[in-house]
Chain A
Amino acid sequence: MIVLLGILVVVAGFATKRNPVLIVGVAGVLTAFLGGLTPMKVLDAFGTGFASSRSVTLFAVTLPVIGLLERHGLQEQARALMGRLAKVSAGRLLAAYLMIRQLGAALGLTTLGGPAQAVRPMIAPMAEAAAERHHGPLTEPARERLRSFAASADTVGLFFGEDCFLTVGSILLITGFVNATYHAHLEPTQLALWAVPTAICATAVHGARLLRLDRSLARTRPAAGTVTATAGVTEEAK
């Protein structure tokens, strides 16, 4: 029972915002000692665990290709493509971004998007402009809500897209852990395939909620005097 203290270390560590790498190290060493391993066996456990989970970090091999393409304007081209959505309503824009983000992540292009790269400089301002074009000036709560949903479209799209990619960290963590611990022979392709049903559900559920935003925005037309300026979102991303 006492070996469960390791989990508490992880919980407490993340709750107090310690460095995650340090949390893993402390929790690992503590748990191994509580489990009755000698210092030499602890080092052995770290070593064999690391050697058999190297596949999780394999995706780093794609960095030179992505870096080369970003150097030559990959992000700018992705933004130019998304700029073509400028004419649609706020809800449709965010739903389209959700699907683009999901599809991109499913093809391994997780860097084409993200709150700093796409949502703040582009998606949120575009959604606000679209909402104001259709429904007039936005109230402060409506603006907050719209921006929150812009952030959520990015996160939901990323989470439920990337698992369909064959060699993403979470898929390789599953195969690495299970194949090493239980001597199974799982293939990344099978796992990625079984991530597809949930990805479709995510598109349907979150897409529908984003589309419904248009209707709720139409209902909350501002009363006189509560209109706020649109300043603050148009400057460059950090």
Chain B
Amino acid sequence: MIRIEWLYWLVGAVFLAMAAQMATDRSNPKRFGSAAFWGLLGASFLYGTWVVKKTAPAAPLGAAVLVMICLAGFGLTGRGAPRTTGPEQRAASAARLGNRLFIPALTVPLVALVCATLLKGTHLAGKPLFEAGNETLLGLGLGVLIALAIGLFLCRERNPAVALHAGRGLLESMGWALLLPQLLAVLGSIFQAAGVGTQVGKLTVHLLPDGNKYGAVALYCLGMALFTVIMGNAFAAFPVMTAAVGWPVLITRLHGHPPVVLAVGMLAGFCGTLVTPMAANFNLVPAALLELKDQYGPIKAQLPTAGALLVCNIAIMSLFAF
């Protein structure tokens, strides 16, 4: 049986290998900070296996997470000079390979989809092929390995380390932003452990007429959008609003179908992201890049769409969740 933890080990090993490359990259002025950050992340992916199994204490991992937060939070990570192909080489390569370049990229979602649907529940020698409940993620891992083989073959690249170096370039340019979604998920679980969701839930109960599911749907969606506007991203708003209204009211009390409630709830949050200056990278950076006089130009262009889609999300959840 292929286990999900094997995939976490693979990702952890990739992070560790990239950290080792970073430590020796003299073009990165903060190479030791960067190597420490990504190395700790890689080690955390491995150690996490035994934390989930409850055979190792969680506190050392928690301490490692706080160290990573400090490394990234106080600007101790950096990036090296990108060592990649030049624009002429890329253009020549694109002209030579053409649309075949898309084949490996499309292999990843295709394999993930096949594993999640067709191969789900397949047995090999009496045992399930994939660990139950993780078919999609394992499909992603498998898809990446197949896509990498196809990509290396197509590009006539004999050395797989080239891919690792190219991936590290992307990793360094994303920087700690890559880890932010997971840290927000951690924050959500801490909010939950400390009882924030219960408190927000108590507040919202006053706003909510008893048992009115449409009121509850509207409250969840509007709350997601509003929280996203003030927090600047839906990832931080999701755990709070879900712990307050989404899970206890819509799913537990009113028996809403969880995938509809949660997927559409997240998308209601995205409507908030479209109109908030707090999401600077999506709304203010493009205005600067396009040299607009009005830095709120993109937000103004997006506002009517965001409003309409919020209404759509409320309608979709009301129609399909119950």
| Residue positions of A touching B, CB distance < 8 A | 1, 3-4, 6-7, 10-11, 14-15, 17, 19-22, 24-25, 27-29, 31-32, 34-37, 40, 42-77, 80-81, 107-109, 111, 115-116, 119-120, 124, 144-145, 147-152, 154-156, 159-160, 163, 165-167, 169-174, 176-178, 180-182, 184-195, 197-198, 201-202, 205-206, 209, 232-233, 237-238
Contacts and interface: CB of A to CB of B under 8 A. Distances in A.
Interface residues of B, number: 151
A65 B151 contact: yes
A59 B135 CA distance: 15
A58 B179 CA distance: 10
B162 A6 contact: no
B28 interface: no
B158 to A, nearest CB: 12
B238 A198 contact: no
Interface in B46-74: 47-49, 51-52, 57-66, 69-70, 72-74
B308 interface: yes
A190 B262 CA distance: 10
Contact of A60 (B11, B117, B242): B11
Main secondary structure of the interface of B (DSSP, over half): helix
B51 A148 contact: no
B17 to A, nearest CB: 10
A193 B258 CA distance: 12
A48 to B, nearest CB: 5
A144 B292 CA distance: 6
Contacts of A61: 7, 10-11, 14, 140-141, 144
Contact of A44 (B58, B259, B292, B308): B58
A80 B94 contact: yes
A58 B59 contact: no
A194 B231 contact: no
A54 B259 contact: no
Contact of A173 (B11, B73, B185, B289): B185
A166 B140 contact: yes
B214 interface: no
22 contacts: A10-B187, A21-B72, A50-B186, A51-B44, A51-B61, A54-B48, A58-B7, A58-B140, A60-B171, A61-B7, A64-B148, A64-B164, A72-B85, A73-B90, A76-B91, A152-B298, A173-B184, A173-B185, A178-B262, A195-B264, A197-B312, A209-B304
Interface string B237-272: 011101100010000000000111011101100100
A68 B231 CA distance: 35
A68 B97 contact: no
